[in-house]
Structure formats: C-alpha cells, structure tokens
C-alpha cells in the first residue's frame, strides 16, 4: 500500500515529467515515503507508488527511471555566498598552500595572467593549517610581489592578508587607528603586519576597483552552474550589495537564474535609512526580503566575541563587529520596516547580544501591531551558545541557521579556543532540535565546499572525510539522516517563509527536486553519492553527463 496520496488524474490531463522506481523521501510527515512522483506545469500533481503514478504517463511525458535511487525535495543551502563563489572562481586559490611562503608563491605564479593594473586577489589561507599556526605578514608577499597590490582573504572571510603595496594604496600606516569592530594586526613596533581583521578589511576593500554589472553577471551565472550541479535548487545568499542585487533581479526577470535565490542585503547598522522602505516584491526566482548584520567575527581568527577570554589567548575576548546597543537599534529598525533579520553570531557573547536584540525587536513589534507579525529572526552560525541562552533562543522564536561542515572543519582546533566546558555548547545541532528551535542548514560556501552531501555527511557522522574521530566529534550532537535532509529542505524553506511551496514533496508544491544516483544512507556512502538530476519548477536544470 502506498504511504502517499496521489490526486486522481483528470481524463484530459497527463504529466510533463514522472520519476518512478525510487526512494522518495518527501519530508512530509503525513506521507514520508513513496516510490514515484508526477509533475505537471512546474508543480507536483501526484506522489505515490509506481502503479498510482502510471496513469499520468502519456507519449509526451518525460520519464526518469530511478532504479532505487533517492529523491528529496530540492536541497536549499540556507547560508552561502553564491556571488562570492563566482568571485572565488576568478580569484587565486591559496586554499591548499601548506605554508605562508607557498601561498605567496601561488600568487606570484599568476602575475603574468592578470592585467598590469589589476589587483591580485585570492582566498583560502588558514594559519591554523600551517606548521607555525601564526598569522602571515606582508614581508612574505613583498618578497615575491612588491610592485602590484595583493589581497588574500582568509578562508572564513573575516581577515585579509595584503602586501605593502596594498597598504600604501589604502593609506594604512602605523598612525592608522583600528576602526570600531576591526583590528589592524601590528608588530612589536606598532607597524601594520599586513593582516586586517573584520571591519578593518573595509580600509583596503574600499580602494579596490568595483566590478561592472557585466562582471557580476558572469560570476553569478558561473557560480549558479556549480550549485545546481551539486543538487542545489535554492540558496540563501548572504549579505549582498545593492549593485549585486540589481544584477540578480535582472537575471531573474530575464529567466536566466537556474535556481532560486533568497537574498539578504548587506546591512549597515550606521545607516538606518538603508531600510526605510519595505522589501521589494519577488521577481521570478529572486527575492530579497531579509537583511544581514554582524554581531562579531570568526572563531578561526579569534574575532568571535566570547563571554570569557579565549583559552588559547587569555587576554582576548574577540570583537564586537557591531556594538550591542547599535545592533539592537538596527534589528528593531529593520523589523519595523518589514525586513527579516539574520545576524552573524559565532561566540557565546555574540549570540547573547543577538538574542537581546531580537527580544527588543519582538517586544516593540508586539506593541505596535494589533496582531503580532511573525518576524522569523535568524542567527547565522550559532557556533557557540551558552546553556542559558538556548531557552531564550526558543522564546524569541529565532531560527538556527547552521553549517554542519563548520564543525568538521574546525574540530582540530576549536577546543583549543574554547576549552572543555564551552565546547559542549558548540556546533550544537541536536540541542537546537531538542528545544524545538527551527534548524536551517547551509554550507557557507565558498568558505566550505559547495556540495550539500558533505553537509549531510558531517551532520550525521561529525567526522571528517577520513572517518575520524572514531564515533564522531562530540557525537551527542549528531542528527539522523532525515533530520539532516529536513534542515536542508523544509527547515531552509521555513527560514525563507516558503514552507507552503518549497521544502517538501506533496501535491500542489513547487516541483523542486534533487535526484541522487543511489539510495541515501547515513554513513560514509554519502561521500560516494552523486547527483543525477537537479529539477527546478519541474524543469531539469542539471543532468549528470553520461559516462
């Protein structure tokens, strides 16, 4: 007997597309499993057994024989940087450099491929992976490239490493003061070393020439192609500039976006007028009804704001990228004008400040409105949370927007930063679900890899690709496979107010589907699993090439 209920086919109607003979994980609690799906005019019209779907098939119906493979609702990356992925694709990758010197040499090797007046821009360095585990310096870059400006973004995006030419163009000297929420790393004599953290990055970025709309479009389309090939049908695009949003809207209007983009504007807490108007209506597959702010920095660069000092840096509490009072004002203002708010918060103090801001915004909204409006505020990352704040997070109905691969990337050094007690409240996905906090999963690409399968693997195993540590890193926080899939589907859809159209496979829902090449299993086989098809609005936007 089928566990799903199809709609009887009208005599005059057939389906555009059917998928049969598979394992359909619907994420619909009422009917969690089926073997076949019928799609017509971009919508799911029937879900059930192969026999129940057979009447929808006619000569014009495209059929996909699944041969036991799994289909899920279209996977949604709830926190990523799609435009950033496009930028990354055109940048110099130093991700695999084993030392600072090796990273500098990788940049030097690309000089001849760039225009004479072009900045040399790259990404991916991580001092935690180098033998010395210390920040690099401009001297290393100067030794190989002295006459061209170089800017290399740290893997987490919260620090840059530049050469002396870039510092000179930005007019950064010993006399330059640290901006609020930022840090210019200095040597013993007070001279800038070439590393700038969080808000100090702006001192350099403001002198880098802005890309044209044509360049932005090229980057978006290149990144979107990579995303759909990984099985992604939608993304939550984190913190984009209005100029990039305009290009997205143009592409959507022209029908050129192969996936859905739910964007968060890059918010500036010092400019409340930026959000004085309500969000604009969606255009095709693009919508920007949310704004992103930053509470603190990142754990890897010790910029995440902690309530007590870092265990491996006892004089350091991290940074307030936005001071708590200013953050509260910004969140309250954005909420009052109809914007959903997502706030980057990684440290426990950062998370606490965000919860204060959300509570204040909710209280004001409740006073203003006869019927309280649902705000659905989001905390992006929630990497470290104090035990007492878990209940507060549930009380303000905040969404936990978390990235499973951050745990497996950070586990070699995270406990050194936090100590044995605080680490228990870190990367705590199970804690969120146990307290009925909505969980939306993402990758944070290009900081991490694009493939959501890696996120599913990290969520269910808490192990790296080699299967270590045995049993998983703090395994009490693992998710089941269905919970992990839900975080990338129904959870992500809820986080963008789309739970009635996306995130589940059910009659009447939009036909966004991810089709895998085998049955999904909660084990290491996830690493060998591939994507066979990505379907958006009932149309195949990616089909794996035949061998």
Mean pLDDT to the nearest integer, 134-159: 95
User: Which burial class, exposed, middle or buried, applies to 499 when counting CB atoms under 10 A from its CB (0-12, 13-18, 19+)?
Assistant: middle
What is the Cα–Cα distance from 493 to 472, expressed in whole angstroms? Answer: 28
Separation of alpha carbons 214 and 501, rounded Å: 32
292 φ, ψ (degrees, to nearest 5) = -115, 130
Structure tokens at 105: 């040499």
What is the C-alpha to C-alpha distance for residues 282 and 268, in angstroms, rounded to an integer? 22
What secondary structure letter does DSSP report for 82? Answer: H
Instruction: Identify whether 255 is preceded by a cis peptide bond (ω within 30 of 0).
Output: no
Instruction: Supply φ then ψ for residue 179, to 5 degrees.
Output: -75, 160
Q: Which CATH number fits domain 87-205: 3.30.70.60, 3.40.50.970, 3.10.310.70, 3.40.47.10?
A: 3.10.310.70
Distance CA 23, CA 515 (A): 10
- Measured over the CA atoms of residue 448, residue 449, residue 452 and residue 458, the dihedral's sign is negative
Contact predicate 52/1, CB 8 Å: no
The answer to whether the beta carbons of residues 31 and 47 sit under 8 Å apart is yes
Residues 7, 43 contacting (CB under 8 angstroms): no
Please answer whether residues 513 and 74 qualify as being in contact, where contact means their C-beta atoms are separated by less than 8 angstroms: yes
Q: What is the mean pLDDT of residues 265-273?
A: 95
CA atoms within 13 A on the CB side of 414: 21
Q: Is the pLDDT of residue 419 over 90?
A: yes
Tally of CA atoms within 13 A in the half-sphere of 6 that contains its CB: 25
What pLDDT score was predicted for residue 476?
97
Q: How far apart are CA 189 and CA 205, in angstroms?
A: 25
Average pLDDT over residues 249-261: 98
User: Does the pLDDT value for residue 314 go beyond 70?
Assistant: yes
d(CA 215, CA 309): 43
**Across 402-415, average pLDDT:** 97
**Cβ–Cβ under 8 Å, residues 508 and 228:** no
Read off the pLDDT of each residue in 430-443 and give the average, rounded to a whole number.
98
Whole-number pLDDT of residue 114: 87
Taking residues 434-459, report their average pLDDT: 97
- How far apart CA 446 and CA 79 sit, in angstroms, is 11
Residue 25 tokens, joined:
């994980």
For residues 78-104, give the mean pLDDT: 95
- Does position 5 have pLDDT exceeding 90, yes or no? no
Q: Is 506 exposed, middle or buried (0-12, 13-18, 19+ CB in 10 A)?
A: middle
Q: How far apart are CA 201 and CA 398, in angstroms?
A: 29
- What region does 440 belong to: left with phi over 0, alpha with psi -120 to 50, or beta? beta
What does the alpha-carbon distance between residue 327 and residue 272 come to, in Å, rounded to a whole number?
11
384-406 burial, b at 16+ Cβ within 10 Å, e below that, comes to bbbeebbebbeebebbbbbbbbb
Cβ neighbour number for residue 483 with a 10 Å cutoff: 18
What tokens appear for 114 in the block?
């760039």
Q: Tell whether the model's pLDDT for residue 4 goes beyond 70.
A: no
For 414-438, b/e burial (b = at least 16 CB within 10 A) is: bbebbeeebbebbbbbbbbbeeebb
Q: What is the pTM of this model?
A: 0.90
pLDDT at 523: 86
Q: What percent of the chain has pLDDT over 90?
A: 92
Buried-exposed string 217-244: b where 16+ CB fall within 10 A, e elsewhere: bbbbebbbebbbbbbbbbbbbbbbeeeb
Pick from 407, 452, 542: nearest CA to 236: 452
Q: With contact defined as beta carbons under 8 Å apart, do 540 and 511 qualify?
A: no
Q: Which of 77, 81, 71 is nearest to 491 (CA)?
A: 77
Tell me the CA distances in angstroms from 526 to 459, 482, 504, 521, one per residue in order: 11, 13, 21, 7
Measured between alpha carbons, how far is 380 from 441 in angstroms, rounded to an integer? 10
What phi-psi label fits residue 510: left (phi over 0), alpha (psi between -120 and 50 degrees) or beta? beta
CB 261 within 8 A of CB 77: no
Q: What is the pLDDT of residue 1?
A: 40
Whether omega before 446 lies within 30 degrees of 0, making that bond cis, reads yes
Pick from 317, 382, 307: nearest CA to 349:
307
**What local confidence, expressed as pLDDT, does residue 163 receive?**
97
Query: According to the model, what pLDDT value does residue 2 have?
Result: 47
Q: For the packed helices 481-488 and 452-461, what is the interaxial angle rounded to 10 degrees? A: 140
Digit-coded pLDDT (tens) for 9-18: 555 579 999 9
Confidence of residue 8 (pLDDT cuts 50, 70, 90): low
Alpha-carbon distance 193 to 141, whole Å? 11
Q: For residue 121, how many other CB atoms are within 10 A of its CB? A: 20
Question: Which of 357, 383, 238, 239 has the alpha carbon at shortest distance from 303?
Answer: 383
Residue 378: phi, psi to the nearest 5? -125, 140
Per-residue pLDDT reduced to its tens digit, 282-292: 999 999 999 99
Average pLDDT, the chain: 95
Q: Note the pLDDT tens digit of each residue in 353-363.
A: 999 999 999 99
């Amino acid at each position: 007997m089928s566990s799903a209920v199809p709609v009887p086919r009208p005599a005059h109607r057939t389906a555009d597309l059917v998928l049969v003979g598979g394992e359909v994980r619907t994420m619909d609690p009422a009917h969690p499993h089926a073997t076949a799906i019928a799609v017509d005019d971009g919508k799911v019209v029937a879900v059930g057994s192969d026999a129940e779907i057979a009447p929808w098939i006619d000569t014009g119906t495209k059929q996909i024989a699944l041969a036991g493979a799994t289909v899920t609702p279209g996977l949604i990356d709830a926190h990523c940087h799609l435009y950033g992925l496009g930028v990354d694709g055109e940048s110099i990758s130093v991700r695999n450099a084993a030392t600072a010197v090796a990273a500098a040499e990788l940049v030097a090797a690309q000089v001849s491929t760039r225009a004479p007046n072009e900045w040399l821009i790259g990404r991916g360095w991580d001092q935690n992976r180098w033998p010395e585990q210390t920040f690099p310096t401009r001297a290393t870059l100067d030794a190989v490239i002295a006459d061209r400006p170089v800017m290399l973004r740290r893997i987490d995006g919260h620090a840059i490493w530049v050469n002396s030419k870039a510092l000179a163009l930005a007019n950064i000297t010993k006399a330059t003061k640290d901006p609020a929420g930022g840090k210019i790393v200095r040597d013993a004599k007070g001279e800038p070393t070439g590393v700038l953290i969080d808000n100090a990055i702006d001192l350099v970025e403001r002198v880098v020439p802005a890309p044209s709309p044509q360049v932005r479009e090229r980057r978006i389309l290149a990144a979107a192609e990579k995303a759909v090939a990984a099985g992604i049908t939608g993304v939550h695009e984190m913190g984009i500039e209005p100029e990039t949003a305009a290009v997205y809207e143009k592409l959507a209007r022209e029908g050129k976006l192969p996936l859905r983009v739910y964007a968060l504007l890059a918010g500036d807490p010092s400019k409340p007028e930026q959000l004085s108007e309500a969000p604009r209506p969606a255009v095709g597959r693009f919508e920007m009804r949310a704004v992103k702010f930053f509470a603190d920095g990142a754990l890897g660069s010790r910029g995440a704001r902690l309530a007590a000092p870092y265990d491996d840096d006892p004089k350091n509490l991290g940074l307030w990228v936005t001071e708590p009072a200013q953050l509260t004002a910004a969140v309250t203002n954005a909420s009052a004008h109809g914007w959903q708010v997502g706030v980057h918060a990684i440290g426990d103090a950062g998370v606490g400040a965000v919860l204060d801001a959300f509570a204040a915004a909710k209280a004001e909204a409740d006073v203003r409105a006869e019927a309280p409006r649902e705000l659905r505020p989001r905390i992006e990352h929630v990497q470290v949370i104090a035990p007492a704040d878990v209940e507060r997070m549930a009380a303000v109905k905040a969404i936990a927007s978390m990235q499973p691969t951050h745990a497996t990337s950070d586990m070699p050094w995270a406990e050194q930063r936090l100590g044995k007690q605080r680490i228990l409240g870190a990367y705590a996905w199970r804690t969120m679900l146990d307290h009925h906090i909505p969980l939306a999963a993402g990758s944070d690409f290009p900081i991490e890899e694009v493939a959501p399968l890696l996120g599913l693997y990290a969520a269910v195993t808490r192990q790296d690709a080699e299967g270590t540590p045995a049993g998983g890193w703090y395994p009490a926080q693992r998710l089941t496979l269905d919970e992990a899939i839900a975080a990338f589907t129904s959870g992500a859809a809820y986080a963008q107010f789309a739970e009635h159209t996306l995130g589940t496979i059910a009659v009447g829902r939009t036909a966004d589907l991810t089709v895998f090449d085998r049955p999904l299993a909660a084990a290491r086989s996830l690493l060998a699993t591939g994507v066979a098809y990505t379907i958006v609005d009932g149309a195949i936007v990616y089909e794996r090439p035949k061998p």
